[in-house]
Structure 1
Amino acid sequence: MSPRPLLAPTFARTRLGSGPGLLLAHGAGSSLAGTYGPVLEALAARYTVVGIDYPGSGDTPRSATALSVDDLADQLVAAADAEGVDRFAVSGYSLGGPVAIRTATRHPERVTALVLTASFPHRDNRLALASSVWSKIAASGDRELLAEFQLMMALGTQALESMPADQLQQTLGYVAATAAEGSSEQTDLVGQVDVRDDLVGLKVPTLVVSTTDDRLTSTALHRRLAETIPDAQLAEIATGHLPMLERTEEWLQLVTDFLDKHHA
């Protein structure tokens, strides 16, 4: 396959660290820092980390048109081009998983490995319903209600129930204040994306991290990724949808061990 022409980067991007290239694709309703904040410093100590903020996240303006996974994937690679990173592994979290998969499909000569965390190849009924409700709440502008929905759906049972009442209220306030302006468009994409046709053609080492107490993306969807991508490795973490927050060190160990083996 001949290389695709270079695309002008238009999304806000972050570069940190040094070493082998690692691109980061964040989840819906979040941002690069919002998704990967607890692990960014540790990843940057080992890799040249490059990530983007989707439209309506971070410093990237909202889009006037519907988002597409192809555009997000190409903009992720455009950010790597702008930072001089030629070959790279790609870590995709939640919606970032399909973005990472499409990156490997559209730029196979450049991707060395994939890490897919709490992710999915397509929506199931639960994810379709959750993304629809999430999008409607975000579009309403009710940030308090949006924060309540996000915490209820994203945190695992142990993490949520161990919070004292005052900490829960503080966390709700933080989530409400930092909600992505483009949450509605991003969660609309969650309900539409389908990368099933990409999976069997992937030729790179792949780690699927399954979050076993996840109310958004089911373990059945995680397993579908692992079972369909050739030779993919499946690892389980007993958390909700936020393993980088709930089990930071466990997630880091899984990912860095995998990348050290497959991504030199």
Structure 2
Amino acid sequence: MSSRNLPAPAFARTRLGSGPGLLLAHGAGSSLAGTYGPVLEALAARHTVVGIDYPGSGETPRFTTPLSVDDLADQLIAAADAEGLDRFAVSGYSLGGPVAIRAATRHPERVTALVLTAAFPHRDNRLALASSVWSKIAASGDRELLAEFQLMMALGTQALESMPAEQLQQTLGYVAAGAADGSSEQTDLVGRLDVRDDLAGITVPTLVVSTTDDRLVSTALHRQLAETIPGAQLADIATGHLPMLERTDEWLQLTTDFLDKHHS
């Protein structure tokens, strides 16, 4: 178990499957199921999957205080403890990327590998502006406007422009209904966190998946992760910010091939 003191597990968590441990850290404004839903069963067929919902997502109560990336990372490890996992890989998507990085640096004896998808070590100007607008729209309570902003920013060009008008409206309704109550606090954290000082100290095998048509998190931020984490492997997917949705099989194959090679 970790040498660092851990809090009691306080976030809603999910456990599925069997095999080597794999922790999942979801994106801002979403949930574990909302981020990883298309691939959860496939991942659980090969791993013991454990994931948490951040405050204001899933069944985890919303916080009234600002979120901390360290708290999210520690709660992810606490969930692993509660489910009896000692060592595990960590998959982090978008905001979950910095959460996974902090989990690896705060609990290095526990983490065996990292998969960082559409992730970032800090905000650049585009991400700062996007997270600020996203947080303000979410705080307004206008779920339809929030869904319009999310789809405009998150979907790649091909996925968005290939939608007939009726499908676009249906998708907007689905996104609006699924928006996390804690979206404002989670996207506010996106604009504040900075894990650049952690990158050079990561010693586990790391896969960085760069979403090359990403309008939210730039490929320059993806590449900064790959270039700064020692020995990190970079893989490109021609998709927007949602590879689990747009290129499900391709993302899953990259992830499982990497974990099969580097994590047991």
TM-score category (smaller protein): over 0.9
> Does residue 68 in structure 1 map to residue 57 in structure 2?
no
The letter of the residue matching 1:82 is: A
**Within-5 A mapping of 1:98-177:** 98-177=98-177
Matched residue of 1:127: which SS? helix
Measure the CA separation in 1 of the matches of 2:170 and 2:252: 26
Q: Deviations over 1:140-164 (max 9, x none)?
A: 0000000000000000000000101
Measure the CA separation in 2 of the matches of 1:137 and 1:86: 40
The letter of the residue matching 1:120 is: F
Indicate conservation of the 8 Å contact 1:114/1:207, yes or no.
yes
The letter of the residue matching 2:141 is: G
Measure the CA separation in 2 of the matches of 1:126 and 1:166: 30
The letter of the residue matching 2:115 is: V
Measure the CA separation in 2 of the matches of 1:49 and 1:193: 26
Offset at residue 5 of structure 1 (A): 2.4
Residue 28 of structure 1 corresponds to: 28
Measure the CA separation in 2 of the matches of 1:147 and 1:58: 18
Indicate conservation of the 8 Å contact 1:117/1:209, yes or no.
yes
Deviation beyond 3 Å, 4+ runs, structure 1? none
Measure the CA separation in 2 of the matches of 1:64 and 1:249: 38
Matched residue of 1:46: which SS? coil
Measure the CA separation in 2 of the matches of 1:64 and 1:163: 38
Offset at residue 4 of structure 1 (A): 1.2
Residue 43 of structure 1 corresponds to: 43
Measure the CA separation in 2 of the matches of 1:119 and 1:107: 20
The letter of the residue matching 1:263 is: H
Is there any run of 5+ residues in structure 2 with no aligned partner, and where? none
The TM-score, its normalising length taken from structure 2, stands at: 0.99
Indicate conservation of the 8 Å contact 2:6/2:74, yes or no.
no
Measure the CA separation in 2 of the matches of 1:45 and 1:187: 32
The letter of the residue matching 2:27 is: G
Matched residue of 1:24: which SS? strand
Offset at residue 128 of structure 1 (A): 0.2
Measure the CA separation in 1 of the matches of 2:124 and 2:200: 19
Indicate conservation of the 8 Å contact 1:87/1:110, yes or no.
yes
Q: Deviations over 1:32-70 (max 9, x none)?
A: 000000000000000000000000000000001100000
**Within-5 A mapping of 1:176-255:** 176-255=176-255
Matched residue of 2:75: which SS? helix
> Does residue 83 in structure 1 map to residue 118 in structure 2?
no
Is there any run of 5+ residues in structure 1 with no aligned partner, and where? none
The letter of the residue matching 2:108 is: P
Q: Deviations over 1:3-39 (max 9, x none)?
A: 1124210000000000000000000000000000000
The TM-score, its normalising length taken from structure 1, stands at: 0.99
Measure the CA separation in 1 of the matches of 2:98 and 2:178: 24
Indicate conservation of the 8 Å contact 1:6/1:81, yes or no.
no
The letter of the residue matching 1:242 is: L
Q: What is the number of equivalent residue pairs in this alignment?
A: 264
Offset at residue 118 of structure 1 (A): 0.2
Matched residue of 1:201: which SS? coil
Q: Deviations over 1:223-263 (max 9, x none)?
A: 00000000000000000000000000000000000000000
Offset at residue 88 of structure 1 (A): 0.3
Measure the CA separation in 1 of the matches of 2:11 and 2:223: 32
Matched residue of 2:231: which SS? coil
Measure the CA separation in 2 of the matches of 1:80 and 1:244: 23
Indicate conservation of the 8 Å contact 2:118/2:210, yes or no.
yes
Measure the CA separation in 2 of the matches of 1:213 and 1:152: 12
